[in-house]
A = this chain, B = another copy of it.
Amino acid sequence: MVYDMISCGQFGQQLAELVNSSYRHIARCVYKESLVQEDLQGKNAIAGFYQFDKLDLSEIKWIHAFGAGVDDYLKQPTIQRDLILTRTLGYMDKRIGEYCLAYVLEDLKSVVSTHDNQRSHLWDRTNLNVLYNKKVLVLGTGFVGQGIASALRHLVEKIDGINGSGTSNPLFHQTMTIENLSQAHLEHYDIVISALPLTPSTRNFLNQAFFRLLNGAFFMNVGRGKSLVEDDLLWALENGHVRKAVLDVYQTEPLPSDSPLWDHPGVMMTPHHSGLTTFEDIRKSFEESVKAMKGGIRNQLFVNINQGY
């Protein structure tokens, strides 16, 4: 079967060129910056970042998403439950792992405040903290969680993971199921990083009940913004459950200008750039998806639509 594909938005033109030059046996692809309904006439495949809120997707058999998180796509009311949804992972695991390590070390080595001292011409030899004796917990042990574990595991005392099933993974010393958090002694972890996908059960999961389990942890969210109740994080900072937070994702993006997160002294925030998609990622994941599709294989690029990631 040769798909009639339309690609859209950022990187859409590059993908169309790739498809038409190297994947004619799989798809013919046209490109349009923004899609309206009539663009889908005669098309059964789409590639792009999510921009499909107002479209009827009932004729679409294959969507290739340009990001790793696919919650938007799955929410679309006309999406067919039996369509093929492939996603872009590329080198995002490594990039998000490096990002997490950068901010964990920023905190321990006081990078920003040392640079503020440079700006004030101040020579202040304060002692720095260390990573090698720290215990780390990663929520989510999938593609992104594994990238975080790969980046941190050689540098910390211990790195454990939490996932839906408790399935073990060699990158983590121990994995636990998300059902049993109250028995997981979360108060022992110095660093807690969420890489959870957004599903009905992870929506607003990082709330007061969760933060109550932490004891002065350094907390990061590189998963999905809608997993985090931002007011509950502020409560946790106020009450010592969280010592400092680094956020890359938010309930609403861009972060609204009146959000208290911008100016909170305990929050470092970054503009959802830890795993920003590059065309290199798209090319890699598109090639791997097509190869798997032809071989009848369903790897981690193929979203399990019932599971939601």
Contact = CB atoms under 8 A, between A and B. Distances in A.
Interface of A: 91, 94-95, 98-99, 101-103, 105-106, 108-109, 111-112, 114-115, 117-118, 121, 123-128, 130-132, 150-151, 154-155, 254-255, 257, 262, 268-274, 276, 278
Contacts of A108: 98, 102
Given A111-B103, A151-B155, A273 B94 contact: no
A123 B91 contact: no
Contacts of A126: 273
12 contacts: A94-B130, A98-B105, A98-B109, A101-B101, A102-B108, A103-B109, A111-B112, A115-B268, A121-B262, A128-B274, A128-B276, A150-B154
A108 B94 CA distance: 13
Given A95-B128, A155-B98, A123 B271 contact: yes
A227 B255 CA distance: 46
User: How many chain copies?
Assistant: 2
Nearest to A126: B273
A132 B272 contact: no
A141 B20 CA distance: 51
Contacts of A105: 98, 101-102, 105
Nearest to A109: B102
A268 B106 CA distance: 14
A276 B127 contact: yes
Contact of A95 (B98, B115, B124, B130): B130
A1 to B, nearest CB: 35
Contacts of A114: 270-271, 273
A102 B111 contact: yes
A83 B117 CA distance: 41
A108 B97 CA distance: 13
A128 B257 contact: no
Contacts of A102: 102, 105-106, 108-109, 111
A112 B270 CA distance: 11
A275 to B, nearest CB: 9
Nearest to A253: B123
A66 to B, nearest CB: 14
